[in-house]
Amino acid sequence: MRHLAVIAGLAALWGGGAGNASPVREQTMIPATVDGESVKLATIIYRPDGAGPFPTAIFHHGSTGRGNDPSRFSRLQDPTALAEWLVARGWVVVAPSRRGRGGSEGLYDEGFAEDRSRGYTCDEGRTVAGADRALRDVEAASEAILALPFVDRTRLLVGGYSRGGILSVAWPGRSSIKPRAIVNFVGGWLAADCPTALNVNRSLMNRGAAYGEPSLWLYGDRDPYYPLSHTKAVFEAFRSAGGKGEYHDYVPVDGTSGHNIILSPQLWDMTLRTYLDGQGLPFRTP
């Protein structure tokens, strides 16, 4: 489904845009156990007023471009625009960083070439092993987050951006934790210019078919990593594997990339509200 931008300027950046006072933001370290190792994961938490428990969104970050700039590994990816949108509607948002990313302990190792200075590899075996490692991080982080006292684990949304988007679709197909909603912003593991990208992205997304509930896929035109022709093919493969979901694509604001539609709530506001309502996840009017 194609959506057009109707606002001339970019109404929301990572720093805001929900039209309300900024929510309470906390940066903390959450202990988790993954691959038999005890680590602390750097985590951003956005909370509304009150003690909760609140409907909760766990949101997963993307990659670091081509993976060949280690200085980017320590940078937090902070989904402020989406977090403010959700908190204004009564949600808490928890954004964990996987091992070795954003200040988290451990090694960042999500599908690098044998020579790590070359960044991410197109080699299918190595990149899928990196995705499996990331999925183990997602499982460990989710278990730790659901133990927090202000989290309502019966009203759980799991989502992500770019690599976090494909993880959010793949993970619930194999986890005992069953979220009520899955929201995928421009998800993919390998950029489409990798010769193995279509096979890898399809196989990872298809893991989520066993989840059995509808997921929401949101993509943008003019995406330098995941063109619409690629992501539509991945979505159709997901549907053919038995997955349920809705695919929506948007024309980004002039001068912006389709990979950054998460920054523009005016594009996906109605779509996300309709989806959450359909999943039985009520929200208050901001």
What's the mean pLDDT in 214-240? 98
Contact (Cβ atoms closer than 8 angstroms) between residue 189 and residue 127? yes
Question: What is the rounded distance in angstroms from the CA atom of residue 71 to the CA atom of residue 57?
Answer: 28
> Which domains does the chain carry?
2-278 (3.40.50.1820)
What average pLDDT is seen over the chain? 91
Asked whether residue 25 carries a pLDDT value surpassing 90, the answer given is: yes
For 13, which DSSP code? B
Q: How many degrees, rounded to 5, is the angle at CA 40 between CA 43 and CA 103? A: 60
Asked whether residue 15 carries a pLDDT value surpassing 80, the answer given is: no
**pLDDT (tens digit per residue) in 196-208:** 999 999 999 999 9
Helix (H, G, I), strand (E, B) or coil at 128: helix
* Radius of gyration from C-alpha coordinates of the chain: 17
Asked whether residue 191 carries a pLDDT value surpassing 70, the answer given is: yes
Residue with tokens 């053919």: 240
Asked whether residue 30 carries a pLDDT value surpassing 50, the answer given is: yes
What's the mean pLDDT in 167-171? 98
User: What percent of the chain shows pLDDT beyond 70?
Assistant: 92
Give the other-Cβ count within 10 Å of 105's Cβ.
Answer: 16
Question: What is the rounded distance in angstroms from the CA atom of residue 38 to the CA atom of residue 72?
Answer: 24
pLDDT value at position 113? 96
Phi, psi at residue 58, to the nearest 5°?
-100, 125
The band of 142, judged by pLDDT with boundaries at 50, 70 and 90, is very high
Helices and strands (H, E) in the chain, number of each type: 6, 9
Question: What is the rounded distance in angstroms from the CA atom of residue 223 to the CA atom of residue 257?
Answer: 6
Asked whether residue 249 carries a pLDDT value surpassing 80, the answer given is: yes
The band of 22, judged by pLDDT with boundaries at 50, 70 and 90, is low
Asked whether residue 17 carries a pLDDT value surpassing 50, the answer given is: no
What's the mean pLDDT in 170-190? 97
Beta bridge partners of 38: 33
Q: How many degrees, rounded to 5, is the angle at CA 72 between CA 256 and CA 162? A: 50
Contact (Cβ atoms closer than 8 angstroms) between residue 92 and residue 151? yes
Asked whether residue 74 carries a pLDDT value surpassing 70, the answer given is: yes
Question: What is the rounded distance in angstroms from the CA atom of residue 188 to the CA atom of residue 186?
Answer: 7
Pick from 46, 53, 55, 94: which is nearest to 279 by CA? 55
Residue 108 tokens, joined: 């960042």
pLDDT value at position 20? 44
262: which residues sit within 8 A by CB, 6+ positions away? 79, 81, 82, 161, 185, 186, 218
pLDDT value at position 50? 87
What's the mean pLDDT in 235-249? 98
What's the mean pLDDT in 101-107? 96
